[in-house]
A = this chain, B = another copy of it.
């Protein structure tokens, strides 16, 4: 239970490496983040270190330079319910500005992580004064909403092996459909939690996928010969089909 305030600013490169990168998936466009470069600082978090806790006052929001961050809720019976796992270039904590400047969930570094921290005050100013920023926020929030809707749908109509298959499909490069080799982005226990299933269920789902779709998995290495077979199995009942737009 380290206090948030106790973390030390190790580095102050500021905008230095904010410039080189492309469109963000479900988050604020990087060009917008760049506008905050002057107000931003860099902060390092060790694996397992907490970033902020739910209901804490939110003075900052965060941009992930590198590493892995887990967003979660603490449940009444002591468990935690994972909201999302975020990686490179994702933004989080910004939603606090619509929540009375209070964080809506807790966050923690899952690996050693390098974050850009930006005062929420700056974001609020920009939203109010710069229509482009407000629009970017709207657009990014809309995308997230859509992804959440998809997640809800999947929780309802897909079974565990299908959800795992769907997760793998999302990792595949968009332009290939044969002989794909990918690596799981984080350990299986965490993937299981992200997919809202138990590690045992995840493991058994992998076995099912092996049998049904002929994929090969060894450690974190995944080989998919025929992506069609995997998407037929995973997405046969969904409202969207592979390849996904986001």
Task: With CB as the reference atom, state the residue of chain B lying closest to A143.
Answer: B98
Q: How far is the CB of A94 from chain B (nearest CB, A)?
A: 10
Task: With CB as the reference atom, state the residue of chain B lying closest to A141.
Answer: B141
Q: Complex formed: what's the CA distance from A146 to B98 in Å?
A: 10
- B54, B76, B142: the one within 8 Å of A237 (CB): B76
**Using an 8 Å CB-CB cutoff, how does the interface string of A218-246 with B read, 1 for contact, 0 for none?**
00000000000000000111110100000
**Using an 8 Å CB-CB cutoff, how does the interface string of A180-205 with B read, 1 for contact, 0 for none?**
00000000000000001000000000
Q: How far is the CB of A146 from chain B (nearest CB, A)?
A: 6
What residues make up the interface of A, taking CB atoms closer than 8 Å to B? 54, 73-77, 79, 81, 83, 95, 98-99, 104-105, 127-129, 131, 134-135, 137-139, 141-146, 148-149, 151-153, 155-157, 196, 235-239, 241
Closest 6 CB pairs of A and B: A98-B142, A73-B239, A134-B134, A148-B148, A156-B196, A141-B141
Residues of B within 8 A of A75 (CB): 153, 157, 237-239
Residues of B within 8 A of A54 (CB): 239
Residues of B within 8 A of A104 (CB): 146, 149
Q: List 23 A-B contacts (CB under 8 A).
A: A73-B149, A73-B239, A75-B157, A76-B235, A76-B237, A77-B236, A81-B156, A81-B239, A83-B149, A104-B149, A127-B131, A127-B135, A127-B138, A128-B131, A134-B135, A134-B138, A138-B138, A141-B142, A144-B145, A148-B152, A152-B152, A155-B155, A156-B196
- B74, B77, B131, B156: the one within 8 Å of A131 (CB): B131
The answer on a CB contact under 8 Å between A142 and B235 is no
The answer on a CB contact under 8 Å between A238 and B76 is yes
Residues of B within 8 A of A155 (CB): 152, 155-156, 196
Residues of B within 8 A of A144 (CB): 145
The answer on a CB contact under 8 Å between B95 and A145 is yes
Residues of B within 8 A of A157 (CB): 75, 79, 81
The answer on a CB contact under 8 Å between B236 and A76 is yes
Residues of B within 8 A of A83 (CB): 149, 152
Q: How far is the CB of A153 from chain B (nearest CB, A)?
A: 5
The answer on a CB contact under 8 Å between A139 and B235 is no
The answer on a CB contact under 8 Å between B156 and A145 is no
The answer on a CB contact under 8 Å between B76 and A138 is no
Q: How far is the CB of A236 from chain B (nearest CB, A)?
A: 6
Q: Complex formed: what's the CA distance from A245 to B144 in Å?
A: 22
